[in-house]
Amino acid sequence: MDCQAFAHSWENGWNTHNLDTIMSHYRDDIVFRSLKAKALVGAGEVHGKQALREYWSAALARQPDLKFTIQEVFEGHDMMVISYLNHRGVLASEVLYFDAAGQVYQAAACHCTSQEI
């Protein structure tokens, strides 16, 4: 898997607010964790591609100026971490676990604790 290519596709999907591009990386049974999800959907864990699409659709609608700028890409065994700055200058990381087909089955967003969440 080409982690750099994946990261740039991921970044492009978010920066163009293209949900189809964003969702193309994830399996139907995705499990996604984020403190920000808790505030928007009432739980810090989102199960399934449709629920994740609904969450991210609502999040994008609330932040029409959202943009991510990749800082670093870290490669691991069947996983990667994308470190990025958002449009508000908050440093965050996305941790992504991949299956054999290159689809994400588990992911988590983490935000710098020294900055406002």
Does the pTM surpass 0.85? The reply is: yes
CATH number for the domain formed by residue range(s) 3-111: 3.10.450.50
Residue 92 CA to residue 89 CA, distance in Å, equals 9
Task: Summarize pLDDT for 43-89 with one digit per residue, the tens.
Answer: 899 999 999 999 999 999 999 999 999 999 999 999 999 999 999 99
Sheet holding 69-76, edge to edge: 45-47, 26-33, 104-111, 91-98, 79-85, 69-76
Residue 98 CA to residue 102 CA, distance in Å, equals 5
Residue 15 CA to residue 5 CA, distance in Å, equals 15
Domain assignments of the chain as residue spans, ordered by start? 3-111
pLDDT band at 7 (very low <50, low <70, confident <90, very high): very high
